[in-house]
Structures are given as C-alpha cells and as structure tokens.
Chain A
Amino acid sequence: MTSLQGPQSARRRTRAPYLLVAPAVLLFLAFLAVPIGYAVYLSARGLRLTGPGIFGTRQEIFVGLDNYARVLTDAEFWAGFGRLALYGLISVPLTLGLALLFALLLDYAGARGRRFARTAIFLPYAIPGVTASLLWGFMYLPSTSPFSYFTKELGLGGIPFLAGDGIYPSLANIAIWGGVGFNMIIIFTSLRGIPAELSDAARIDGASEWRIAWHVKIPLVAPALVLTGLFALIGTLQVYGEPTTLAPMTTEISQTWVPLMHIYRDAFIRDDLPLASAASVILAAGTLVVSVVLLKLTQKRASGGLS
C-alpha cells in the first residue's frame, strides 16, 4: 500500500490505527460480513426428502443454486419488485422534487415564514415510519378520514385511499411525507454553501429568480441531489414497515407485497430459511449494483460522488 496522506506515518510506526479501527472491524465482520457469508452458505442448502416413501426423512443437504433458481423463477417475487417500482416511481421523484422546491424557496429571500416552514417540513423526519403509517392509515380509513369526510359532505363519496390502485399513491405519500424534510435540509445546506456573489452577479445581469435557480443554483447542488437520490432509491428497495403497518387496514396488501415482506414470509411463516437467504442475497447484491451504477452514471455529470 502506498502512502496517500499523512506525512507522520512514514516517520512513526504505531499500532494506534489498528487499535482504533479494531472495534469497527470486529463489528463489521460479526454483523455484516459473517451474516452475508452465512446467508450465502445457507442459500445453497435445502431440506430434501431422502429415503423411500413416507418413511423418508427430511434432511438438510447441499442443493447448489436451486434456491436462487426458485427465487428468480418465482413470479410473485418479481411482482413484488413491480409493485415496488410503481411505488418508487411515485415516491422518489416527488420526494426529491418537493425537497428541491422547498430548499430553493428557503434560500429565496423573498419568501416569508421560512424558519417556520423549515422546521415544520423537517418535523416528520423524527416520526418513525411505522407511526407515520399509523397516522396516515387512520387518515385514509373511510370511517376516520378527514379527506373522505369532506368529499362525502360534498356528495362525492369517500376517497378510495386503501382500495385498488389507490394503495400506491397512498403508500408513496407516507414516504414523501417522511422524506421531504430531511432531503430538503441536505439540499438547503448545500445551497447555503454557494457564494452569494454568483446569484448576485446573475441578478445584476437581469436574470430572473427562476433562471438563477435553474442555471446557477441547481447545477451547483447536483452532488447533493445525487446523494439524496441514492438514499431515496436505497430506501425504496428496503420498504417494509409502511406496507406491513397498513396491511391490517386494507385487503390490498398481501403477505408478499414487496420483496422484503416476501422474504419475511419465507423465513418466518414458511420456515424456509435457505430460500429467504437466497432472496436476501439477491436483494442485497441488486441494491449494491443499482447504487454503484447510479453513482457511476452521475459521477460523469456531477463532479462529485461518494469517494
């Protein structure tokens, strides 16, 4: 390994860095590396009947890639990804778009009530997804929904938040509600780092606030947008708590509605840990690939990136 930084290291030999990283390395091995390794091992095992007829015994044996084949050919697992994609197509662009809009407005001296708005919009970040789902769930439920109350008063009938395809925007809304504030703050802090002279110069040249936002500010916060986009994407792939919490309130959400729910069912309701392990490995590897591809693609455009 070549020396990249720190002139001190060349001159002094010390065990200090090893001691300092030791707890993190041990925990990383114990709770990230070893579980992944064990899941990979288990994903190649399976219970099979051995021996003749009804006297056969179920034994755990090595089955190679059988479990992966089962997961990858399971239409319901893919359907879960399809539902996730639909949900993500609503929640990710709206979360980022609203976060950017609010951040730009917070950065715009002409808007009033910015401190209040910033705190209020950030507030849902402190509320767990499960609690948020519970709140919104009751606001969707026909008998307690304030929105359906108004539409009923107007003679339009209730809004089918929890029925049919309404479930997608309803679930996406919970994610948007919980995510806009945090992303807004990240983009906003990034906007605050832009030297005021840049906007002022454009203003003196007669550019409108809209043009300044579009041509000066947004390009400069592109790295923050990449980061928030990446987090939104990773967050989407691991959606679990929100649909699980809403499930008791609606018949639309099955036990296998999203991939993680599917994995949970295989592991704990069907007791098929090898199959659940294979699906977990596929999901984790898929997330890693998607994240790396997204970073590579955006790194070319924005001169930033996680590195």
Chain B
Amino acid sequence: MTAATQTGGLRGAGAGGGAATRTGGAARGHLLPHQRAKILPTLVLLAGALYCLVPVAWVVVAATKSSGELFSTFTFAPGTGLLDNLRDLFAYGDGRFLLWAANSTLYAVAGSAASTLISTLAGYAMAKYDFRGRTVLFYAILAGVLVPGMTLAIPQYLIMSETNLVGSYWSVLLPSLISPFGIYLARVYALSSVPDATLEAARIDGASEYRILGSIGLPMMVPGMVTIFMLQFVGTWNNFLLPYIMLSDESRFPITVGLYTLLAKGSSEPALYGIAIVGAAVSVIPLIALLLFLQRFWRLDLLSGGLKG
C-alpha cells in the first residue's frame, strides 16, 4: 500500500521529481509557528478515511458468513462460511460469475483502449491542425460532454435494435468507444504538451504527418492517454444502464448487471443475497488493488488544468 500511495497524485512528483513548476515539498514540509492545530485536521481526515473504508470492511466480513450467520450475528463479527460462500459463488449458474468478470474486463479493457486511441487522434488533430469544420466539431464535442451518456441510452438502444445488434457484445462496446470528454481532454493535453515548434522542425526535416504523429506526437501524449484510459476504464467498468438495457442473455452481462440480477432475485430467494455479497466482495478487491497500483499514473491535474485551457 505504501509503495502505491507515496507517488499517487502529484505530491510525490512535486517533492521528489523534477517538476520544477510545482511547489516544492520543502517549503511545505517545515511548520511555521502558528501551524499548530494538528489534531483536529488529522481527526477529520481519519474520519473521512474511516467513512470510506467501513462499507468495504463490511462486505469483506460479510463474505465470511454463512447465510444463517448473515442475519443473526453482529455484522462485524467474522463468520465461518467463507469457503462455502466462495464455492457457491463460483458454482452459481455453472461459473456464471467468472463469465461476468470476464465480460466486464472485456468491455472495460477493449472499450477503453480503443476509445483512448480514437480520442487521442481526434484531440491531437483538433489541437495541432487547422482544418475545415474544426470549430463545429469542437462545439459538437463540447455539447457531447454536457449531455450525459445515460440520457442517450434509450436512443442508442433504438439504433442498436434497428441494426439487430441488441443483445450482442457490440451493443455495449460500440457506444462506449465515443467519449466526448476523452476527446476534450486529449485536445487540452495536446495543446499544453506537444509544442508546435517541434512538429514544425520535423516537417522541415521532411517527415510526413503520420511519421510526426507516430514518433513525436503520440509519445508526447502518453501521460494524457494513460489518464484518459483510466477514466474511461472506470466509467465503463461501473456502467450499469447501458448493458442493462442492451443485454438480455445473462452470459453476456458485466458484473454490475449480474450482481443486480442476483439482488433482484434475492428478495424471493434469500440464498442469492449471500452470493451477491460474496460476489461484491470478490469483485471489489481486484479493483481496489488495481486502483492502488495505478494511482501513481494518474494525471488528474489534466482535469483541473483543463478548465483554464
């Protein structure tokens, strides 16, 4: 945990790395005389941390309980049914849970990778070239940022059903490929980190536009691409309404829709509650591990900085 947290965000980069424009760690490290009230701020931060960790702790503990213990013992007392629960979870519907996890991974990884590439190319072009329709495209993208994707889920369903794609993997993957916010961020990043002079120098040397993109533009945009990928990944992984509307075959569900169906059926079949809880615990743990690991690569200043661009 420490390895992941120490460089997460930008504090680590500012204090240790060569980011000269950031405020150095030293200036903030030493305490001036009237910086004395430490206890209250620390307590507030710890209370916030506790608030955020309690539900995660609860589900991990609840996952160890047998269905009898779940409703009878104190909620934070560990139970004895962890192995049985795990067996039930993975046996449910002939290993359906693993299929859901694989589907979520497919939608999130393939969708975000493709979406990041598409967004980067478009954002780069909008930042670095003047071309007919650029202004129109920019305002269309901006409108796309402000109209939430969810409100478009029904219209997207209609298009998918017209083209007979409803129920297929494509019906979830294709709409997630277009991310106006991703394009917007890529444009902001290209404006701020790909200098025109470098591109112009390459042109004078006779490099083609595609060569310039491949060997100068894209490498410079990698930190921005990583951030766009992660935002998109979390967004797709967490998406519920789109797959819920598009899919009817349980074997194509992502985890979110799968867990929801367990819960919805659970009101008449309480054993499924237990499976839903273990499923939630099992699906949350790799995500947290991924977050802790990837935290250092986030460049969320792209978001706050993007506002000024």
Q: Which residues of A come within 8 Å of B, CB atoms?
A: 1, 3-10, 12, 14, 16-18, 20-21, 23-25, 27-28, 30-36, 38-39, 42, 98, 101-102, 105-106, 108-132, 134-139, 143-146, 149, 177, 180-181, 185-190, 192-196, 200, 203, 208-209, 221, 223-224, 226-227, 234-235, 237-238, 240-241, 244-245, 248-249, 260, 263-264, 267-268, 273, 276-277, 280, 283-284, 287-288, 291-292, 304-307
A38 touches B23 (CB 8 A): no
B260 touches A244 (CB 8 A): yes
How far does the alpha carbon of A189 sit from the alpha carbon of B159 in the complex, in Å? 40
A16 touches B129 (CB 8 A): yes
A109 touches B52 (CB 8 A): no
B252: shortest Cβ distance to chain A, in Å? 17
A24 touches B148 (CB 8 A): no
Please tell me which stretch of B81-89, B90-98, B236-244 contacts chain A, meaning at least 4 of its Cβ atoms lie within 8 angstroms of it.
Answer: B236-244
Q: Which one of B27, B48, B143, B162 lies within 8 Å of A196 (CB-CB)?
A: B27
How far does the alpha carbon of A139 sit from the alpha carbon of B229 in the complex, in Å? 33
What residues of chain B lie closer than 8 Å to A185, measured between beta carbons? 9, 298, 300
Name the residue of chain A whose CB is nearest to the CB of B4: A119
A177 touches B255 (CB 8 A): no
A294: shortest Cβ distance to chain B, in Å? 10
B122 touches A227 (CB 8 A): no
A292: shortest Cβ distance to chain B, in Å? 7
| Binary interface encoding of chain B residues 55-74 relative to chain A, with 1 for a CB under 8 A from any of its CBs, else 0 | 11011001000000011001
A17: shortest Cβ distance to chain B, in Å? 4
Name the residue of chain B whose CB is nearest to the CB of A291: B146
B208: shortest Cβ distance to chain A, in Å? 8
Name the residue of chain A whose CB is nearest to the CB of B238: A128
B31 touches A6 (CB 8 A): no
Answer whether residue B124 sits at the interface, using C-beta atoms and an 8 A cutoff: yes
Answer whether residue B20 sits at the interface, using C-beta atoms and an 8 A cutoff: no
B145 touches A306 (CB 8 A): yes
- Could you pull out 14 A-B pairs where Cβ atoms are within 8 angstroms? A5-B130, A106-B45, A115-B5, A126-B234, A130-B240, A145-B75, A177-B51, A186-B303, A192-B22, A237-B148, A238-B148, A240-B150, A248-B263, A304-B307
Answer whether residue B99 sits at the interface, using C-beta atoms and an 8 A cutoff: no
Name the residue of chain A whose CB is nearest to the CB of B74: A149
B196 touches A7 (CB 8 A): yes
B152: shortest Cβ distance to chain A, in Å? 6
Answer whether residue B216 sits at the interface, using C-beta atoms and an 8 A cutoff: no
Answer whether residue B106 sits at the interface, using C-beta atoms and an 8 A cutoff: no
How far does the alpha carbon of A114 sit from the alpha carbon of B25 in the complex, in Å? 14
What residues of chain B lie closer than 8 Å to A260, measured between beta carbons? 150-151, 241
Given A35-B156, A134-B263, A249-B267, list of 10 further CB < 8 A pairs?
A8-B129, A27-B174, A114-B45, A122-B291, A125-B291, A128-B239, A130-B257, A248-B267, A273-B158, A276-B154
Of residues 291 through 309 on chain B, the ones whose CB sits less than 8 Å from some CB of chain A are: 291-292, 295, 298, 300-301, 303-308
Q: Which one of A10, A24, A34 lies within 8 Å of B121 (CB-CB)?
A: A24
Counting chain A CB atoms within 10 Å of each CB, the highest count among B148, B203, B298 belongs to B148
A105 touches B44 (CB 8 A): yes
Q: Which one of B55, B141, B149, B267 lies within 8 Å of A135 (CB-CB)?
A: B55
A137: shortest Cβ distance to chain B, in Å? 8
A20 touches B122 (CB 8 A): yes
B154 touches A263 (CB 8 A): yes
B45 touches A117 (CB 8 A): yes
How far does the alpha carbon of A9 sit from the alpha carbon of B37 in the complex, in Å? 57
